[in-house]
Structure 1
Amino acid sequence: METACFLCNALRTITPECSCGEVMLDSGPVTDYTGPYSPYFNVSFASEYCLHLFTCPACGNDQIIAVPLCVIREP
């Protein structure tokens, strides 16, 4: 069964609110900051979630949000 992150693949967006009241921006998957660079690094997920880093443009706070993966079904 293949899975994909709907945020990484621009299928949907989410807009979490920071504690200061501003909307946080998606800064991408955490693996972009901690893992080796490879355009295919996230092709095979070992988890049911993709961890995304969200950053507040106003106060600079960061928050990691676990985004559930969606199942890709073949036609």
Structure 2
Amino acid sequence: MLGLYLLSGVVFLSGAIGLELVGGVIAQKSGTESFIYAMSYTCEETLEMLGIALLIYTTSRYIVQVFPSTKLEFVESK
């Protein structure tokens, strides 16, 4: 479980810090209207969202393990 928490942090921070730095360099060299810059910030945002999704998944699994009688149910709102 700890491994998944660490993985979610690494994935999130690699986007938030790692690709943010790369994106800054690309923006200086190619400008913010270039295709390569658009790809870099798309990858950055994707990694951040993936890290958050992994964190939510891991926390959900942890809650179910700690409280076995817990049932997570998603219903459609009207």
TM-score by length of 1: 0.24
In terms of fraction of residues, the more strand-rich structure is 1
TM-score by length of 2: 0.23
